[in-house]
Amino acid sequence: MESITARMRVMGMQPPIRFAFSDLGQRRTEREAEAELLARYNELDPFEQASEAQDILNRMLAENGGATIMNPTYIGSGWNIRIGRKAFINAAVVLDGSAPITIGHHTLVGPGVRFLTAYHPVDPAERQRWAFWARPITVGENVWIGADALIVAGVTIGDHSVVGAGSVVTKDVPRCTLVAGNPAHVIRQLDEPDPATLYELNP
């Protein structure tokens, strides 16, 4: 029988990253350093102490375009996380970088949003072996994600789209689309912005 991974490759989907209990001890030094940096970041004022805040983000993340991230926040495996220019992430956001997370330029993320790249098997025997998988999350440019939304593993959100507060996003969101609900569904299409004037006030 063809495996799920093989079928995903045929469909052009990226197969999940598989982890086991033994993997949790890997990169221990990096994880300890990350925990110390995160603790310090959560003590800072991201505006009054912007220089130190950006220095910490630059050290924690794979790529930081000068994003503003309010605290407290949770960042796990920041070496898998890339955040673009002029992005704003409000307080109490969870960024689980078990697989890569990419957040595009000028994207706004409301408080309490969770980006969860990891998921566990439904098979109880497999779950008891502490196996789990992770798939990337990609958020495009100029997206707005409302408060307390949940973005699950493998989801891509297209440029200029909006996710309503409290939504659970389990499927890809096309560009210029408003989605909301649990599970999130399309509410309506949004007008394409004029690229010539879109960022005039906030280049």
Query: So which residues are the catalytic ones?
Result: 120
HSE, side-chain direction, 13 A CA sphere, residue 13: 18
Distance of CA 46 to the CA centre of its chain: 20
DSSP 8-state secondary structure symbol assigned to residue 123: S
Place of tokens 């994880």: 31
Q: Which of 60, 41, 63 lies closest to 51 in space, CA to CA? A: 41
Rounded to the nearest 5 percent, the helix, strand and coil shares of the chain are: 20, 25, 50
Q: What backbone torsions phi and psi does residue 17 show, to the nearest 5 degrees? A: -85, 130
